[in-house]
Amino acid sequence: MPPRTAVVDELREQLLDAAEGAFYTRGIQAVSMDDLREASGLALRRIYQIYPAKDEIVVAFLRRRHRAMMTRITADVEQAVDAKERVLALFDYLEKWFAEPDFRGCPWMNAYGELGPTSAAIAAEVHYHQREFQALVTGLARQAGCSPADAHAIYLLAEGAVAVAAVQHRAAPAVDARHAAQRLLQPAGHRRR
């Protein structure tokens, strides 16, 4: 028999898989604890043993999704040959994400829009993700020789592309943002308007 902690970890992942699918597809407030019970196949009692409150499940889902997203972005970016191509690889990642059939926008902004004003824990998790994503994007841009202002503009292009893609249900905003970022990566004297 596997150790107890391994069983709990497995059940936690099973619950978070179900929560991620339900929350991201339907919205957090639309998903009840009974819905999570049904989707995960776990008894409510077991769910509450793992996470005593729904907000804790939301935070865990967002935290796990953050780690997965940052890992995928880093893997994609590290394959690029130079610093400027690493910045552009970020937008290539976004284009692939936006093209996924189940893309429903930014899970963190969705969570914040639903519960951020009323849940300090969820708001904190959203702010953490946003700071980390901003640090990643601006760090890549600075390594490519961008000024702090241009690095911040590239970050805003990425965030804006996510928001527009969520509303339009298309991957094109990533391509448009990539073109704009490409211009910002050129020396200021060589930029075309």
- Summarised one tens digit per residue, pLDDT across range 65-119 is 999 999 999 999 999 999 999 999 999 999 999 999 999 999 999 999 999 889 9
pLDDT at 79: 95
- Domains, the chain: 1-52 (1.10.10.60), 54-190 (1.10.357.10)
CB contact at 8 A, 87 and 141: yes
Distance of alpha carbon 129 from alpha carbon 131, whole angstroms: 6
Residue 40: partners with Cβ closer than 8 Å, 6 or more residues away: 14, 15, 17, 18, 19, 47
pLDDT at 54: 95
Global pTM value: 0.90
